[in-house]
Amino acid sequence: MCLGIPGEVLSFVDDAPLRMGRVAFGGVVKEVCLAYVPEAHPGDFVVVHAGFAISRVDAEAARRVFAWLEELGETESVREGEPR
């Protein structure tokens, strides 16, 4: 099963061939393709799967997902980018 993880958009660049941005996942920042969510701006939360932001999500929903992952002991694998 694949899992989309919410992250907060920190910044973006529109002048690349694809809209790219820096997204924070519980303290880890990754480069993510934002082409599928052109309405996302810094401070917004997006769901990221395989390096692509696929939808926006509200901040409370993002916090709930990270709380669930923390309860399951899966936040370390999210930070490392590796499935357990």
84 residues of the chain, pLDDT tens digit each? 567 899 999 999 988 789 999 999 878 999 999 999 999 999 999 999 999 999 999 999 988 988 888 888 766 555 554 443
Amino acid at 65: V
Domain of residue 10 covers 5-80
Number of domains in the chain: 1
| Dist CA 53 CA 37 (whole Å) | 7
- Tell me the CATH number at 15: 2.30.30.140
| Dist CA 17 CA 60 (whole Å) | 32
pLDDT at 83: 42
pLDDT at 19: 95
C-beta separation of 44 from 8 below 8 A: yes
- Residue 54: C-alpha distances to residues 43, 47, 63, 73 (Å): 16, 6, 18, 25
pLDDT at 54: 96
pLDDT at 27: 81
